C-alpha cells in the first residue's frame, strides 16, 4: 500500500494554508508536500495531515501481520540481538544490575523481542499489542490488546515503548497516560526516529521514516520535549547509547559522533517519577 494512497488526500486540499499543530496548537505549514507532512513553527513537530482513514490503517496492519518478519516497519523493527543490547543499556541507565522484581510493560510489543530481552534480565513482563496479540499469547507472553484492557489497579514499575509513538494518531495522550500507570519511583523509556537527524535533513521527503505509511508523527528533540513538558515529566534525560549495529568500525564510529551531536537516527528518553 503506497504512502500517498494511504493518506487519502483530497485533491481540493490546500497545502499552502496554515493549520494548527495537534500537539501545541501552534501554527504549522506544509513541510513535505508530496507526503502531506506539516511542521509546527512553535514545537517543531512534523505530522501527517489529514490522517488516513482508520479502516485503511487497520488494513495496513492486518496485511503486515500476515508476514510479520517481512513487514518489520509495522510489526516491530528490533531484532532480539538489538533488544538485548537495549535492555542492558536501559538497566545501566537506571543503575540497576538487572530488572529482577520489576513489573514492566512494553507498549507496542510487536513480535516480542523486547519482552524476551527484558524477561531474560529478570523482569515480569507484560505487553500491549493490538495486531500481534495472538502471536504473543501463543508464545506464552502476558498481553493486552489496548491500554484500556489493563485493570485500573494494575500498575507497573516501568513502561517502555520503542519505535511506536510515531505510529499513533495522538501519542501525547498515551505518553501522558503512562505516568498514571506507574508505581512510585517508576520509569518510562521512549524511543522514536529523530526528525532532526542528519539523514532526515539530507534526504527530506525521501527519508525512510517519512516514507513509511504507518508513520503519522515524526518528533524532533524540541517537539518530544514539549510533549514531556505538558505531561509534567520534569525528571527526564535524553540518552546517548553507543551501540554497534554492525561489524563496520567506520560506520559505528560515525554513529557515535552523530549521537554526540544529537543528529543520530533515534531519540531516546528516560523519564523517572519522583
Cell (9 digits) for 10:
483530497
Are the CB atoms for 144 and 123 separated by under 8 Å? Answer: no
Going by CATH, does the domain composed of 72-272 fall within 3.40.50.150? yes
Task: Report the chain's mean pLDDT, rounded to a whole number.
Answer: 90
Place of cell 502531506: 36
> For 170-180, what is the mean pLDDT?
97
pLDDT per residue over 237-268, tens digit each?
Answer: 999 887 766 667 777 777 778 877 888 899 99
Q: Cα dist. 176→106, 145, 231, 247 in Å?
A: 16, 19, 5, 38
From the list 137, 132, 79, the residue with the least C-alpha distance to 109 is 132
Res 262: pLDDT: 83
Res 12: pLDDT: 40
From the list 49, 9, 12, the residue with the least C-alpha distance to 29 is 49
Four-point Cα dihedral 54, 52, 167, 77, nearest 10: 100
pLDDT per residue over 53-102, tens digit each?
Answer: 889 888 988 888 888 877 877 877 778 999 999 999 999 999 999 999 99
Enumerate the domain spans of the chain.
72-272
User: CA-CA distance, 177 to 162, in Å (whole number)?
Assistant: 16
Cell (9 digits) for 217:
508523527
Largest CA distance in the chain: 57
> Could you tell me the pTM of the whole model?
0.90
Amino acid at each position: 500500500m503506497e504512502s500517498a494512497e494511504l493518506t487519502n488526500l483530497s485533491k481540493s486540499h490546500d497545502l499552502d494554508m496554515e493549520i494548527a499543530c495537534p500537539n501545541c496548537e501552534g501554527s504549522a505549514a506544509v513541510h513535505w508536500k508530496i507526503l502531506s507532512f506539516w511542521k509546527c513553527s512553535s514545537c517543531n513537530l512534523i505530522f501527517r495531515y489529514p490522517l488516513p482513514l482508520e479502516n485503511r490503517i487497520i488494513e495496513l496492519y492486518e496485511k503486515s501481520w500476515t508476514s510479520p518478519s517481512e513487514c518489520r516497519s509495522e510489526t516491530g523493527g528490533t531484532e532480539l540481538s538489538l533488544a538485548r543490547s537495549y535492555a542492558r543499556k536501559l538497566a545501566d541507565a537506571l543503575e540497576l544490575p538487572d530488572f529482577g522484581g520489576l513489573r514492566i510493560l512494553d507498549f507496542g510489543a510487536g513480535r516480542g523481542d523486547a519482552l524476551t530481552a527484558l524477561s531474560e534480565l529478570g523482569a515480569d513482563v507484560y505487553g500491549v499489542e493490538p495486531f500481534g496479540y495472538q502471536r504473543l499469547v501463543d508464545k506464552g507472553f502476558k498481553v493486552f490488546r489496548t491500554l484500556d484492557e489493563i485493570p485500573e489497579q494494575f500498575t507497573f514499575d516501568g513502561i517502555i515503548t520503542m519505535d511506536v509513538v510515531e505510529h499513533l494518531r495522538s501519542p501525547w495522550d498515551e505518553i501522558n497516560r503512562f505516568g498514571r500507570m506507574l508505581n512510585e519511583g517508576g520509569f518510562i523509556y521512549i524511543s522514536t526516529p529523530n526528525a532532526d537527524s542528519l539523514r532526515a535533513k539530507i534526504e527530506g521527503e525521501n527519508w525512510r521514516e517519512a516514507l513509511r505509511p504507518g508513520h503519522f508523527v515524526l518528533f524532533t528533540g524540541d517537539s518530544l520535549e514539549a510533549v514531556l513538558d505538558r505531561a509534567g515529566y520534569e525528571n527526564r534525560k535524553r540518552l546517548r547509547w553507543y551501540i554497534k549495529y554492525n561489524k563496520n568500525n567506520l560506520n559505528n564510529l560515525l554513529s557515535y559522533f552523530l549521537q554526540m551531536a544529537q543528529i543520530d537516527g533515534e531519540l531516546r528518553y528516560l523519564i523517572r517519577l519522583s
